[in-house]
Amino acid sequence: MYAVITGASKGIGKAVAERLAAEGFDIAICARHAGTLKAAEADVMAKRAGVRVLAEVTDMSVKEAVLAFGRKVLDTFGEPPAILVNNAGIFTPGKVHEEEEGHLEKMMAVNLYSAYHLTRLLLPDMKRAKQGHIFNLCSTASHKAYPNGGSYSITKFALLGFSKNLREEMKPFNIKVTSVSPGPTWTASWEGFDGPPDRLMEPEDVASMIWAAYQLSKQAVVEDIQMRPILGDIG
Ligand SMILES: NC(=O)c1ccc[n+]([C@@H]2O[C@H](COP(=O)([O-])OP(=O)(O)OC[C@H]3O[C@@H](n4cnc5c(N)ncnc54)[C@H](OP(=O)(O)O)[C@@H]3O)[C@@H](O)[C@H]2O)c1
């Protein structure tokens, strides 16, 4: 049994990969930068003796690269994944009426289209197997507009739409779909934040929620996870 986690060289994706490796899964991960991906691969391998890890340098904003990653995953493991975590995403703050030209398109490519294309590539095998659990890393910005959300928030609303539609479509195929919407979580996205460290959640908190949702009986699915720091959103 294995799990695919996109954008897993750091942050939430890496925490999820480490948790699932520790829980007994083999792992497929990707990211753009080879150095941090290699380091993450080593950290994931250290979580459990004998864990098999496929780590592929991939730019998930490029459709052909996404499809090549998906095919490599299926070729390597020879079966569909038990878990797919569509996590790769970038966060650049902005305002719809002021942000740079191309801002929306750039974020759509990573935050939405990567999940759409990878999921569609893996689904035929998952549907045949009639099993699997897909987690989509949305955000509290998928549910609520906020100052400086701009295009990021638009992409996350769209990803939640993708996730909800997929949930409906996958019912007859016994494939679970869960939208995961964290609020502020300590990762590179928050570099430079000078508030108290416990004002943000830990990436491991998100990994724990994903693991908890996965563990339910086969007839139960968690459709939406919303989680926030105890003091709520920031900004
Ligand atoms: N942190 C938060 O407060 C927060 C809150 C709500 C939702 N989220 C969502 O959670 C997900 C993870 O966020 P994070 O904060 O953990 O991010 P992060 O620490 O910045 O890590 C992002 C990961 O994705 C990879 N990545 C970025 N662009 C990529 C691309 N084009 N192709 C392949 N990999 C790519 C990065 O590696 P490379 O740079 O090497 O590619 C890295 O491994 C995102 O979807 C984000 O929107 C985060």
2 within a domain of the structure (yes/no): no
14 within a domain of the structure (yes/no): no
Amino acid at 109: A
Whether 125 has a pLDDT exceeding 90, the answer reads yes
Whether 187 has a pLDDT exceeding 80, the answer reads yes
CA 141 to ligand 1: nearest atom: 6
Whether 77 has a pLDDT exceeding 80, the answer reads yes
Q: Give the pLDDT of residue 71.
A: 98
Nearest residue by C-alpha to atom 46 in ligand 1: 89
Q: What's the CA-to-centroid distance between 102 and ligand 1, angstroms?
A: 19
Domain that holds residue 194: 64-106+114-227
CA 36 to ligand 1: nearest atom: 40
Note the pLDDT tens digit of each residue in 190-211.
Answer: 999 999 989 999 999 999 999 9
170 within a domain of the structure (yes/no): yes
Vertex 16: Cα angle to 145 and 112 (nearest 5): 40
Q: Is any atom of ligand 1 closer than 6 Å to the C-beta of 81?
A: no
212 within a domain of the structure (yes/no): yes
**Structural domains of the chain, count:** 1
Q: Is any atom of ligand 1 closer than 6 Å to the C-beta of 185?
A: yes
Q: Taking the model in full, what pTM does it have? A: 0.98
In angstroms, what is the C-alpha Rg of the chain? Answer: 17
55 within a domain of the structure (yes/no): no
Secondary structure E strands in 83-220: 83-86, 133-137, 176-182
Q: How far apart are CA 218 and CA 175, in angstroms?
A: 10
The confidence band for 172, taking pLDDT boundaries of 50, 70 and 90, is very high
Whether 149 has a pLDDT exceeding 90, the answer reads yes
The confidence band for 136, taking pLDDT boundaries of 50, 70 and 90, is very high
Q: Work out the mean pLDDT of the chain and round it to a whole number.
A: 97
20 within a domain of the structure (yes/no): no
Task: Decide if 180 contacts 212 (C-beta within 8 A).
Answer: no
Whether 175 has a pLDDT exceeding 80, the answer reads yes
Q: Is any atom of ligand 1 closer than 6 Å to the C-beta of 187?
A: yes
Nearest residue by C-alpha to atom 45 in ligand 1: 89
Instruction: For residue 134, list its beta bridge partners.
Output: 84, 177
Q: How far apart are CA 82 and CA 193, in angstroms?
A: 36
Residue 44 CB neighbour total at 10 angstroms = 24
The token pair at 148 is 């400086």
Q: Is any atom of ligand 1 closer than 6 Å to the C-beta of 137?
A: yes
Average pLDDT, stretch 7-29?
98
Look up 146 and say whether it is catalytic: no
CA 144 to chain centroid, in Å, comes to: 19
Q: How far apart are CA 212 and CA 16, in angstroms?
A: 12
Q: Give the pLDDT of residue 150.
A: 97
Q: What is the CATH number of the domain that holds 168?
A: 3.40.50.720
CA 15 to ligand 1: nearest atom: 16
Vertex 175: Cα angle to 155 and 119 (nearest 5): 40
Nearest residue by C-alpha to atom 41 in ligand 1: 32
27 within a domain of the structure (yes/no): no
Task: Decide if 6 contacts 30 (C-beta within 8 A).
Answer: yes
158 within a domain of the structure (yes/no): yes
Q: Is any atom of ligand 1 closer than 6 Å to the C-beta of 115?
A: no
